[in-house]
Amino acid sequence: MLALSLIVGGCGDAEPERVATYPVEAVVTFQGKPIPGAFVALHPKQPSAEVPTPRASVNADGALIVTTFNGGDGAPAGEYIITVEWYKPIKSGADVVPGRNVLPAKYASPQTSDLLITVSADTNKLPPIDL
């Protein structure tokens, strides 16, 4: 019976080991004002197929908390190019729908964005980012 339980116990799906992530916090504004709902992505300069792109949504006060795997877990240490898109909501009849991206187009692509950061193996409070 013991041998059977050891065999069955070893057949479960083990969760893959994840890379370490570190908290990343920042405030993002456009022309000095918060951009609630803007989408921020951190594109690693050295991409990895095993790690999703760290991302965040900007809060009403302009603050964001980065997530890679689970809510607010941060990002792996390394260098990143930041992209930011803000599809400002517009009213369409009785609905509210995303409008066009109102930020300068250069911030929407890692090939053109000039927003660079380094995440260290510690808590990372970035300086304010004003677009």
The tokens 């991302």 sit on which residue? 55
Task: For residues 38 and 56, give the distance between their C-alpha atoms in angstroms, rounded to a whole number.
Answer: 8
Total tally of structural domains belonging to the chain: 1
Please write the tens of the pLDDT for every residue from 3-54.
544 454 555 555 557 899 999 999 999 999 999 999 999 999 988 888 899 9
**Cβ–Cβ < 8 Å for 121, 23:** no
CATH of the domain at 75: 2.60.40
> Please, which residues have CB within 8 angstroms of residue 45's CB and are 6 or more apart in sequence?
78, 79, 80, 81
101 occurs within a structural domain: yes
> Please, which residues have CB within 8 angstroms of residue 53's CB and are 6 or more apart in sequence?
41, 42, 43, 44, 68
Residue 110 belongs to domain spanning: 19-121
Please write the tens of the pLDDT for every residue from 67-123.
999 989 999 999 999 999 999 788 888 888 888 999 999 999 999 999 999 999 999
* The model scores a pTM over 0.85: no
